[in-house]
Amino acid sequence: MDSGAWLLFLVVVAVSTSGHIHSEAILRLPSESEEISRDYCDSWMLAVETNNAGTWNRVPASCVDFVAEYITGDRYRRDCDVIRNLSAAFAKSVGLAGDGRDAWVFDVDETLLSNVPYYQGVGFGSEIFNETSFDNWVDLAAAPALPAILSLYNELKELGFKIFFLTGRSEFQRNATETNLLLSGYRDWERLILRGSSDQGKPATTYKSEKRAELENEGYRIHGNSGDQWSDLWGYAVSARSFKLPNPMYYIP
């Protein structure tokens, strides 16, 4: 039972034992306020996903339960499955040149790998980001794959795409990141690109655009790009199609 159902249960018990309470008014209140909060958080998340929310730095306190339920539940999994299928349908429609230059780019965090086990311990994004504790988590190399994306990755490889991983993580995290990717099931990617010393401090949009432009200069055609942040997807040297995965836990400009 969730907290609303418990409250309803207790109120019903109180009503049926006392007989003095005006049941309707009391019975409706908890579920109504819960619904208002749920509706608001649903709309807030849509605004986040469409980037109408712009830059934000923590999940509103009233939406922590909503985000927790979403990101640990079936809905997130289904949303990712739909995106997986749309991505695969597009990939199949691409006429690959067969010269080994047809590319797809993936972000790492909340795309290839899920950090939900970490965010569970820090209020699902309701606390300000703590780089030290996140880096400690990265060192554990324990993030599971997003099942939908692992499946898409394998399908793209079979179709013949060259796959590039482009992450905001830094070079010092290369080993932990590669170890984690292997442990969670990824194999035979073309290249893992991390922030080098000259990339530190750049906004993600700038850094990722620069790296994609370098790939284009090497002759790669970037057909698809999958990421949970708008900064993974826009800027310049953008892919023919971009696929935005949901992430209501944090925003990276």
Ligand X SMILES: *[C@@H]1O[C@H](CO)[C@@H](O)[C@H](O)[C@H]1NC(C)=O
Query: Whole-number minimum distance, CB 108 to ligand X, in Å?
Result: 14
Taking CB under 6 A as the binding criterion, the range among 5-13, 67-75, 95-103, 126-134 that sits at the site for ligand X is: 126-134
- 212-220 LR contacts (CB < 8 Å, sep 24+): 212/105, 212/166, 212/236, 212/237, 212/238, 212/239, 213/237, 215/103, 215/105, 215/164, 219/101, 220/101, 220/102, 220/103, 220/162, 220/164
Which residue in 8, 176, 245, 249 binds ligand X (CB under 6 A)? Answer: 176
Q: Which of 33, 43, 175, 200 binds ligand X (CB under 6 A)?
A: 175
How many residues bind ligand X (CB under 6 A)? The answer is 12
**215 Cβ neighbours under 8 A, 6+ residues apart:** 103, 105, 164, 222, 237
Q: Where are the alpha helices (DSSP H) in the chain?
A: 3-18, 23-49, 64-71, 74-93, 116-120, 131-140, 147-159, 174-183, 204-217, 230-233
Residue 33 interacts with ligand X (CB under 6 A): yes or no: no
Cβ contact 45:70 at 8 Å: yes
Cβ atoms of residues 134 and 128 within 8 Å: no
Contacts with ligand X, 80-109, as mask; x by CB under 6 A: -xx--x------------------------
User: What is the nearest approach in angstroms of ligand X to the Cβ of residue 136?
Assistant: 6
- Check binding of 141 to ligand X (CB under 6 A): yes
d(CA 123, CA 137) in angstroms, rounded, equals: 15
**Minimal distance, residue 128 CB to ligand X, in Å:** 7
Is 57 a residue that touches ligand X (CB under 6 A)? Answer: no
In this structure, what are the phi and psi dihedrals at residue 29, rounded to the nearest 5 degrees?
A: -55, -55
Give 135 or 216: the residue with its C-beta nearer to ligand X: 135
Say whether residue 148 binds ligand X (CB under 6 A). Answer: no
As measured in angstroms, the least distance from the Cβ of 94 to ligand X is: 18
Contact segment (CB under 6 A) with ligand X among 4-12, 47-55, 171-179, 197-205 equals: 171-179
Site residues (vs ligand X, CB under 6 A): 78, 81-82, 85, 130, 132-133, 139, 141, 175-176, 179
